[in-house]
Chain A
Amino acid sequence: MTLSLDEVWTMLDGVADPEIPVVSLRELGILRDVRQGAEGLEVVITPTYSGCPAMAQMADDVAAALTRHGLTGKVVTQLSPAWTTDWISDAAREKLRAYGIAPPHAARCATGNGTTASTDAARAHVLQFLPGAARHTPAVACPQCGSQDTVESSRFGSTACKALYRCLACQEPFDYFKPY
């Protein structure tokens, strides 16, 4: 069975991220290329973080998808250019938000912090170990209620790519996909 490269791309659209199953590897910008190599089909992926433990799973999932469609090929890891959250598609950003993860700002983003007097008062009661750092971060909208009244509780969260935030309006904690 042979598929055109476009058809392989479409088929690989169905391969979801192992950690965040609502988005595909293609939407996250991890799937870089599908090409005909000297020894057959080559699917090129790029790691998010060097130590991301999900990379091996991603490569396995892509290989399994190829096998399911009767295709032989190999998965190639490409480091350069280095992955950036700017490659995450707009559609995927919406899916992340709906899933409860605040999508990343542009990796090179101007700061603009819409704080109000009441926010500042609320912030004063939040235990922050690095208050200076939190001040410099642009406002991140809560994926639950949409409020911009949020604070960073920890720059490192459940995985390397996420920071832990808390919404001061609805009091819910949430993950923020860090610009990278």
Chain B
Amino acid sequence: MSAVLEKPQATAVVTPVNYLLHLADNAVVLGQRNAEWCGHGPIIEEDLALANMSLDLIGQARLLYSQAAELLGNGATEDTLAYFRDVPDFRNYTLLELPHHSALVGYAKTDLDYGTTIARNFLYAALMVPMWSQLQTAADPALAGIAAKSLKEASYHLRHSRDWLVRLGDGTEESHARMQAALTHLMPYTQEFWTHTALEKEAEAAGVHLDWVQLAADWNALVDDALAEATLTRPAATGYVTQGKAGLHSEHLGFLLAEMQSLTRAHPGATW
């Protein structure tokens, strides 16, 4: 960005870099993943919609990375944080890096499954709307400003994914079955939303307060309400609990980052 980000009044509360990176990595990884639909959308309206929403997510990531870079100093910028960190440094939920298909489908790009995309976007947006909503009153004014901005965008991301969740779930036999399969595949990954790790503890100790009980209640209500309207069954969220937040990722993140970072790494410091 060529403009300087406004420095809010100095306060006691500064969101820890790790937490900012967690929020930023979530946004950039999902933004990059969804951008894979650009030029391949099922219909042109959806192609445009996903590209636009990726732009929102990448924009949110830029704001968060810029704030983290400011705190880190030492030459860090939004670009060094997005392009020159490797898989174990990324703090995103594992859910967001998964490919657009279930574990049982092949890995060809032609196997992109829109049901998986919609289910993931819905599960994440249903978390971020109440989370940004809480964070917009965060004691750290820098985080509060980003949250207020992101909340507006997350709200229409939720509306978009919910619309399609209902349309496909309550659609044909085929669309219903694929939507249900996508949810069954992804739901276990949402367990990571609720684990209380060093990341959350550090943020809490620094004064970033989130009411996790309320957050889980809000998320559950959004999910149950949408699934009921979509005539879908809520799958169990059991089994292995992913640890993307701690830098332990699936095999898919490396490929995603390789594609995202290759140009910058091939031409470090290039400008135009």
Q: How far is the CB of B134 from chain A (nearest CB, A)?
A: 16
Task: Look across to chain B and name the residue whose beta carbon is closest to the beta carbon of A107.
Answer: B152
Give per-residue flags for A18-58: 1 if the beta carbon is below 8 A from chain B beta carbons, else 0.
Answer: 00000000000000000000000000110101111101100
Q: Is residue B60 within 8 Å, beta carbon to beta carbon, of the partner chain?
A: yes
Q: Is residue A4 within 8 Å, beta carbon to beta carbon, of the partner chain?
A: no
B6 close to A44 (CB less than 8 A): yes
B150 close to A50 (CB less than 8 A): yes
Interface residues on B, range: 35 or more
Chain A stretch 54-72: residues in CB contact (< 8 A) with chain B: 55-56, 59-60, 63
**A60 partner, pick from B2, B6, B63, beta carbons under 8 A:** B2
Cα distance, A63 to B3, chains bound together (Å): 9
Cα distance, A130 to B141, chains bound together (Å): 38
Q: Is residue B146 within 8 Å, beta carbon to beta carbon, of the partner chain?
A: yes
Q: Is residue B270 within 8 Å, beta carbon to beta carbon, of the partner chain?
A: no
Q: Is residue B59 within 8 Å, beta carbon to beta carbon, of the partner chain?
A: yes
A52 close to B160 (CB less than 8 A): no
Q: What residues on B are CB-neighbors of A133 within 8 Å?
A: 159, 163
A74 close to B4 (CB less than 8 A): yes
Cα distance, A44 to B160, chains bound together (Å): 32
Interface residues on A, range: 35 or more
Q: Is the interface of A mostly helix, strand, loop or mixed?
A: loop
Task: Look across to chain A and name the residue whose beta carbon is closest to the beta carbon of B1.
Answer: A56
Q: How far is the CB of B57 from chain A (nearest CB, A)?
A: 7
B6 close to A78 (CB less than 8 A): yes
**A79 partner, pick from B49, B53, B145, beta carbons under 8 A:** B145
Q: How far is the CB of A128 from chain B (nearest CB, A)?
A: 10
B149 close to A50 (CB less than 8 A): yes
Q: How far is the CB of A33 from chain B (nearest CB, A)?
A: 10
Q: Is residue B148 within 8 Å, beta carbon to beta carbon, of the partner chain?
A: yes
Q: What residues on A are CB-neighbors of B6 within 8 Å?
A: 44, 76-79
**A77 partner, pick from B4, B58, B160, beta carbons under 8 A:** B4
Q: Is the interface of B mostly helix, strand, loop or mixed?
A: helix
Cα distance, A78 to B9, chains bound together (Å): 12
Cα distance, A79 to B64, chains bound together (Å): 12
Chain B stretch 22-73: residues in CB contact (< 8 A) with chain A: 43-46, 48-49, 51-60, 62-63
Which of A88-96, A112-120, A148-156, A165-173 contacts the other chain? A148-156
Q: Is residue A3 within 8 Å, beta carbon to beta carbon, of the partner chain?
A: no
Q: What residues on A are CB-neighbors of B60 within 8 Å?
A: 50-51
B149 close to A75 (CB less than 8 A): no
Q: What residues on B are CB-neighbors of A44 within 8 Å?
A: 6
Q: What residues on A are CB-neighbors of B152 within 8 Å?
A: 82, 180
A82 close to B148 (CB less than 8 A): yes
Known A79-B6, A79-B63, A79-B145; judge A156-B52 contact (CB<8 A): yes
A50 close to B49 (CB less than 8 A): no
Q: Is residue B153 within 8 Å, beta carbon to beta carbon, of the partner chain?
A: yes
List 8 A-B residue pairs with CB atoms under 8 Å apart, sorted by A's residue number.
A45-B3, A50-B60, A53-B55, A79-B146, A129-B46, A154-B45, A160-B52, A160-B55
Known: A55-B1, A129-B43, A156-B48. 16 other contacts (CB 8 A): A50-B56, A50-B59, A50-B60, A51-B54, A56-B2, A60-B2, A74-B4, A75-B3, A76-B6, A79-B63, A80-B145, A82-B152, A132-B163, A154-B48, A156-B53, A160-B56
A residues at B contact (CB < 8 Å): 44-45, 47, 49-53, 55-56, 59-60, 63, 74-82, 129-130, 132-133, 153-157, 159-160, 164, 180
Q: Which 9 residue pairs are nearest across A and B when measured between Cβ atoms?
A: A51-B59, A50-B59, A51-B55, A79-B145, A80-B145, A59-B3, A154-B45, A156-B49, A75-B3
